[in-house]
């Protein structure tokens, strides 16, 4: 298996994720520079869930907007 070549610099990311960094510590726990709720809100807005049909997503969004 070929060795991975480390890349220099920061990877390209969405403007809303500026300063986001995530690492796995020595105990296997995730450490992040962004609050999990803020990250989940970003993902819910920007990423389409391929497992759910569009109608189910629209219905879920309608329920969330009513609350």
Question: 45 with 59: CB under 8 angstroms?
Answer: no
| Whole-prediction pTM | 0.54
Q: What are residue 16's phi and psi, to 5 degrees?
A: -70, -15
pLDDT in tens, 11-66: 788 888 888 888 999 999 999 999 889 988 888 888 877 777 777 767 777 765 55
In order of 30, 44, 48, the CA distances from 16 in angstroms are 20, 13, 17
Predicted pLDDT of residue 27? 95
- The torsion angles phi and psi of 37, rounded to 5 degrees, stand at -65, -40
* pLDDT computed for residue 29 by the predictor: 93
Strand 30-32 and strand 22-24: the pairing is antiparallel
pLDDT of 28: 93
Domain boundaries, the chain: 19-66
């Amino acid at each position: 298996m070929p060795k991975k070549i480390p890349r220099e610099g920061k990877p390209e990311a969405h403007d809303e994720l500026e300063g986001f960094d995530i690492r796995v510590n020595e105990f296997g726990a995730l450490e992040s520079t962004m609050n999990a709720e803020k990250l989940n809100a970003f993902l819910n807005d920007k990423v389409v869930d391929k497992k759910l049909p569009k109608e189910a997503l629209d219905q879920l969004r309608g329920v969330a907007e009513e609350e």
